[in-house]
Amino acid sequence: KDTHMICGLTEDDVIDRLRAAVQAAGSQKAYAELHGISEQYVSNALLRRCAPGPRMLEAIGVERRVYYEDKSQ
């Protein structure tokens, strides 16, 4: 039986990382230009209107994974 532990990030953790990266870039506009995405997309992700996509996640060192959990344990 595979008993490895999954250590992940919460959605809050991801948004916190994104917010910190935006602050480091100086603005949402600067961050967006640096990573080739729209400023509106950055804003929407920070406001949780949409989920950060692969390019945005890659820029903050995060990969989205889906897993299943055994509820009987």
Render pLDDT for 19-41 as a digit per residue (tens, 0 to 9).
999 999 999 999 999 999 999 99
Query: pLDDT value at position 36?
Result: 94
Please spell the DSSP secondary structure of 5-54, one letter per residue: PP----HHHHHHHHHHHHHHHTSHHHHHHHHT--HHHHHHHHTTSS---H
pLDDT digits (tens, 9 = 90+) for 37-66: 999 999 999 999 999 999 999 999 999 887
Band (pLDDT 50/70/90 cuts) for residue 3 is very low
